[in-house]
Amino acid sequence: MKNKRNVFYNLLIILAGVICFPVQAQQKKGAKDFVETKNISTSYGPKSIVRTIKQDSKGNIWMASWEGVFKYDGKSFTNITNKVSPARFFSVLEDKKGNFWFASVGSGVYHYDGVSFHNFTTKDGLANDRVTHIYEDKTGNIWFGTEGGASRYDGKSFRNFKMKEGAFANATDSVQVSFYQQALPEGHWMHNDVNAIIEDKTGKLWFGTRGYAFLYDGKTFTTITNKDGKPFENVRSIIKDKKGNIWLGGNDGLCRYDGNTFTNFTRKFVGYIYEDKKGNIWTSSKSSNDLISMPSGARSNTAAWALSRYDQQSLSGKKPTVTEITNKPMIFGILEAYDGSIWFGGLKGVYRYDGKTITDFQSK
């Protein structure tokens, strides 16, 4: 069992924790602005890792992938960034003004107004050029989760925040993480490696990091602990549901905070959380099956991840109804499109689930 656990942790370090490896994006030297040129549209989507999927106000579906940021208009896929940057992209956001933000690992963030791009990096005040998460708060500030803390952009300048004071990550740290087998030191760099940001109904901000989860009241960062006083570790996803409850996913599984108490729904590692229109909670997590079933009946040696749905009507009970929709080697961002279909990312592109079948877009 110990060896199996170590194999899973090693896979997670390589795939889910890949953000720690430096990626040098090739750009025009000194260039900050790029005018969009005509991009080629295809009937197939990205064929590599897709980390985040969002739908914009016009119904287009955007996906951040290691091949670039793709836009799907219902008929074809267009790589929006292929002539701007070869960086690996991890997140995408449409802000309240209708502009887009793209987070890359190694090249900072890109602002896109539909015509041109503007690139922001550490030279402009960004905390770190490896960025994996973007969030817009109630007042319109744009927050970026980076490997070196959180950056808040007010439209004019950046202000950076550290959850805990400590050294930055380096290449040797990236491959020698003990993976939470013992308590992390106070000054460990992973406490400032931000994966998720959400604003709760009281205006406080929640930060999920590869270290612990933190609550920020505008002045102080406080470590969030469960009912046993233990910090939540390696928090990969945080959402606020329609009722104002906060959900956390990470090493401690899936937890819900109702304003008073935490309720744990699974101890399996949870990498992503999403609430659909009906209030069902969708997650990507380690599957209850240790191996992936192959079409021929054979078994893969790759650890399985599950796309699961927690039925809304059962969430008030101690044993909610959970349905595993599918298993993949890894599953990342989840989206419910306007037509009710569920989209999710994987190691080899993007998938769509219509309630009965799963469609990939890897070829014509």
Transcribe 111-169 into DSSP letters.
Answer: EE-SSEEEEE-GGGT-S-SBEEEEEE-TTS-EEEEETTEEEEE-SS-EEEE-SS--PPP
Instruction: Sketch the domain layout of the chain as residue ranges.
Output: 2-38+91-180+190-339
CATH of region 2-38+91-180+190-339: 2.130.10.10
pLDDT of residue 203: 96
pLDDT of residue 300: 42
Burial of 45 (C-beta count, 10 Å sphere; 0-12/13-18/19+): buried
pLDDT of residue 186: 72
**For residues 5-40, b (16+ Cβ closer than 10 Å) or e, as one string?**
eeebbebbbebbbbbbeebebebeeeeeebeeeebe
pLDDT of residue 28: 39
Listed residue (187, 183, 105) closest to 144, CA to CA: 105
pLDDT of residue 362: 85
pTM: 0.85
Q: Count the residues in the chain.
A: 364
- Cβ(236)–Cβ(249) under 8 Å? yes
pLDDT tens track of the chain, all 364 residues?
444 444 444 444 334 443 333 333 333 333 467 665 567 788 889 999 999 999 999 999 999 999 999 999 999 999 999 999 999 999 999 999 999 999 999 999 999 999 999 999 999 999 999 999 999 999 999 999 999 999 999 999 999 999 987 655 554 444 334 455 566 767 777 899 999 999 999 999 999 999 999 999 999 999 999 888 899 999 999 999 999 999 999 999 999 999 999 999 999 999 999 999 999 999 999 886 544 333 333 344 456 899 999 999 999 877 899 999 999 999 999 999 999 999 999 999 999 999 999 999 987 6
pLDDT of residue 171: 46
pLDDT of residue 167: 58
pLDDT of residue 257: 96
Rounded to a whole number of angstroms, the CA Rg of the chain reads 20
pLDDT of residue 24: 33
pLDDT of residue 224: 96
Output the six-digit token pair for 138: 């109630």
Strand pairing partners for 46? none
The CA distance from 160 to 216, in Å, is 13
pLDDT of residue 184: 73
Residues 117, 134, 324, CA angle at the centre, nearest 5°?
A: 125
